[in-house]
Structure 1
């Protein structure tokens, strides 16, 4: 008798799962409906030649070319030498927004290449890149 009751409870528990999965698909669909597209004027910036220790800033401008508001959720950088400022409010379709990047060249030498990954509700993940040739009198690289 206990075995039959255990089996019935197990069947009941398993049979309730599909409703939850359908609900998740619906919420995934609503997120997809709110995705938009953005286009950056340029996605690469070259600071040229810098002296080690210089802090420089560049601005990347983008346009929301989609039909939904664009919101940046977070931005990932590959090192602590980069600070990023971005709009906290949504950028409406047809409007422009800016991502300001500050690069600190302290302790660096040679050709530096850094990437910035932008996570938002755009259909594609966006990447930006900065370059600099850093001269450092304290560190020398032999080629």
Structure 2
């Protein structure tokens, strides 16, 4: 009796697994955003000479030059010393958005280069922005 019950339960579980999405089944699946193009007012910002301990900031302006909304998924800073704010809503064609960067020089000396990786629905999938500074005593 127990054996039959286990077989029936196993069969029910297998049938239930069959209802999971199949490869190629697009129903309810994430659909990829259409690729667009974007331009930046600059890709490098040099803060020049700074004293250790200063916190400075700048803006990168991104313009949607394509036909479809520009969606910035993430902007990855190179390290914890760099904080980033970026548009969370889609940037419509022909419109601008700002990426704000804050760099904290505490604990850094000499020439510093921080690379920010912008992940968006653009042709190359990501774009690199750079902030640099020469941190002195």
Aligned to 2:24: 22
TM-score (norm 1): 0.74
Aligned to 1:84: 84
Deviation at 1:72, TM superposition (A): 1.0
**How far apart, in 2, do the equivalents of 1:36 and 1:88 lie?**
17
Aligned to 2:56: 56
**How far apart, in 1, do the equivalents of 2:43 and 2:94 lie?**
19
Cα displacement string for residues 75-119 of structure 1 (whole angstroms, at most 9, x for unaligned residues): 111110001011111100010111010000001100000000011
Give 3-state SS (helix, strand or coil) of 1:31's partner: coil
TM-score (norm 2): 0.77
State whether structure 2 residue 132 is matched by structure 1 residue 131: yes
Cα displacement string for residues 21-42 of structure 1 (whole angstroms, at most 9, x for unaligned residues): 4346xx78x525x121111111
Aligned to 2:113: 113
State whether structure 2 residue 93 is matched by structure 1 residue 96: no
Give 3-state SS (helix, strand or coil) of 2:101's partner: strand
**How far apart, in 2, do the equivalents of 1:22 and 1:85 lie?**
36
Structure 1 alignment gaps of length 5 or more: 1-15, 137-143
Question: Following TM superposition, where does structure 1 have runs of at least 4 consecutive aligned residues deviating by more than 3 angstroms?
Answer: 19-24
